[in-house]
Structure 1
Amino acid sequence: MSSKVSYYTEEGLNKLKNELSHLKTKGRSQIAAQIAEARDKGDLSENAEYDAAKDAQGLLELKISKLEEIVSNARLLDESTIDTSKASILTKVKIKNKKTGHIVEYTLVSEEEADLKAGRISLKSPIGKALLGREVGETVLVDVPAGKIEFEILDIGR
C-alpha cells in the first residue's frame, strides 16, 4: 500500500478524525450486536443474517483501516502562510466563464474535502487542475464532460 501525504484544513482533519472515532466505537459495537443477534438464531452454516453481519464487519474494518491510513498521512495546512499570488490549495479563486460571462468562486481543496455545494473543488478536478499555479488575469482552458470551457482568473484570495 502506498502512503501519500494529503493536506487538510483543521476543519477537514477534525471531520476525518471524528468519523474514524465513530466507526471504531459505535460502528464496531453495532456490528458486534448484529453478529450476536444472528448467532443466537441457530445454525450458522445456513444463516444469511450472520453472513451479512460478518460481511458488514469486514467492510467496516476495511473502511477503518483506510481512514487510519489517511489520518496518519494527513498534514495540517497553515492557512496564514498561503501564497495568494498563484492559485494553490486553500486559495479562493474567482473565475469568469469567457463565453457566458458567468462568475463563480471556488476554494481549491484536497479531494477528500471537496464539496461543490459549498464552493470547494478538488485540486484533482478538471477545473482545479487547470487553475493550479495560475495567476490573476490568466485565461485557462478546461476540459469538462460537455467540451472545453475558457475561464479568466479574476481574483485569488484566502
Structure 2
Amino acid sequence: MEKFPMTQAGFDQLKEELRWRQQEERPRIIEAISEARAHGDLSENAEYHAAKEAQSHNEGRIGEVEDYIARAEVIDVAKLSGTTIKFGATVTLIDEDSEEERIYQIVGDQEADVKKGRISISSPIARALIGKSAGDTVEFNAPGGARSYEILGMRFI
C-alpha cells in the first residue's frame, strides 16, 4: 500500500473535510432528496436528479478522503532539519527571468495550493528542488515552458 506524505496541517484539513461531508453535507443532501421525492414524478424531476448527483459526488469524495487519511504518512515539518531541500521545506527562490522572488512550501499532493504558496511534492518544480541547497540554480520544464530559479534559502517551519 503506497503511503502519501502529508504535513500535519494537511492531515487535519482532510479530517475536517471528512467530518463536514459525513455530518453536515450528507444529511443536507438526504433532506434535499426527500423534499424532491415529495414533488411526485421522479422521471422528470430535475431537483431529484441534481440531489442524487450531489449525493454520488459527496459519497465518492468521502471514499477518496478516507483512503487518503488511511494511507497518509504525516510528517512533522518542525522536527526536520538539514541544508538540503526535502519534503516540508519552505524555499525562497528568485526567478532568473523576471527577478521575481517566490516562496513555496513543498507539501503532499492533497494539500497543494499554489495561490497559498504550497506546491505538490510531485510537481516539476518540487522534483527539481529536492536535494538542492541555497545558492544552487534549478532548471525544469513547467507547463508554460522551461523555467530557471536560483535558490536563495530554505527553512523548516
TM-score, normalised by the number of residues in structure 2: 0.89
Deviations 1:19-66 (A, max 9, x none): 101100111111111111111111233333222222221111111111
Shift of 1:118: 2.2
* Residues 99 and 51 of structure 1, relative CA distance in 2, 3 Å threshold: closer
Name the counterpart of 2:146.
148
Q: Distance in 2 between matches of 1:100 and 1:11?
A: 32
Q: Give distance in 2, aligned partners of 1:61 and 1:78.
A: 30
Q: Which letter does structure 2 place at the counterpart of 1:31? A: I
Of the three residues 47, 53, 56, the one matched with 1:55 is 53
Letter matched to residue 48 of structure 1: A
Matched AA of 1:83: S
- Report whether the alignment pairs 1:7 with 2:1: no
Amino acid paired to 2:31: A
Pairing of 1:7-156 with structure 2 (within 5 A): 7-156=5-154
Kindly report the root-mean-square deviation, in angstroms, between the aligned alpha carbons of the 2 structures: 1.7
Deviation, 1:137, is 2.1
> Alignment identity in percent?
36
Unaligned runs of 5+ residues in structure 2 are none
Question: Aligned partners of 1:129, 1:150: CA distance in 2, in Å?
Answer: 13
Q: 1:68 deviation in Å?
A: 0.6
For 1:47, the aligned partner's letter is N
Give me the whole-angstrom Cα distance separating, in 2, the residues matched to 1:26 and 1:114: 25
CA drift of 1:110 comes to 1.1
CA change 1:104–1:47 in 2 (3 A) is: closer
Q: Are 1:92 and 1:108, in contact at CA under 8 Å, matched by a contact in 2?
A: yes
Say whether the 8 Å CA contact 1:84–1:91 is kept in structure 2. Answer: no
Deviates more, 1:17-26 or 1:42-51: 42-51
Verify the 8 A CA contact 2:7 2:108 in the aligned structure 1: no
Q: Work out the CA distance in 1 between the residues paired with 2:43 and 2:151.
A: 63
- Tell me: CA distance 1:131–1:17, structure 2 relative to 1, closer, same or farther (3 Å): same
